[in-house]
Copies of this chain bind each other. A is one copy, B any other.
Amino acid sequence: MKLAEAKAQFIQSWGSLGAQWGINRTMAQIHALLMIMPDPLSADEIMTELNISRGNTNMNVRELINWGLVDRVLVPGERKEYFTAEKDVYKVAKEIARERKRRELDPVLKTLEQLQEVEGDPKDKHVKSFKESITEINRFAHQADKTLNAFVKADENWFYSTLMKLFK
């Protein structure tokens, strides 16, 4: 396979993976492109490589910067801004985990706490069933929260060596 073809295919699969995970396709594609390029790219280069408009490029690059997955790079003597992506996938995964935990898990934990305080006759089977479900979900959510926190804080070696052993 030729480089150009391989590049295109990588960008497109990374894009659809992103889409399945609720990250928008273009954002994931820009990220993919920046990951495999040896040097930082300008907005114009991203536009041409991916065939997308200036506005779209700008929006998604900014969002990637928000997520901490892309950095602005200033080339001395150049007016333009350039962009690079973190190339260490492990770090990328941690950033994504951190961000999604903050946006999604944290609010759910809050809601679950409130829902435990539902009032009503504990002999009523509807009340009973509801409380049991919520309690169990809460237990699981807290475990997930702890696990994610550990992952987000862990360093790469610890992660690889421990999990490697654990999960054969």
B-facing mask of A100-143, CB < 8 A → 1, else 0? 00011001100100110111100011111110111011011001
Closest B residue to A85 by beta carbon equals B133
Interface range on chain A (Cβ under 8 Å from partner): 35 or more
Question: A3 interface residue, CB < 8 Å from B?
Answer: yes
B137 to A38, Cβ gap below 8 A? no
Q: A13-B111, A38-B126, A118-B2 are in contact. Are A87 and B149 (CB under 8 A)?
A: no
B146 to A115, Cβ gap below 8 A? no
- A6 CB contacts on chain B under 8 angstroms: 115, 118, 130
A3 to B130, Cβ gap below 8 A? yes
A3 to B140, Cβ gap below 8 A? no
Question: Which residue in B126, B136, B166, B168 is a CB contact (below 8 Å) of A88?
Answer: B136
Question: Could you list which residues of chain A lie within 8 angstroms of chain B, going by C-beta atoms?
Answer: 1-3, 6-7, 9-10, 13, 17, 20-22, 35-38, 87-90, 93, 103-104, 107-108, 111, 114-115, 117-120, 124-130, 132-134, 136-137, 139-140, 143, 146-147, 149-150, 160, 162-164, 166-168
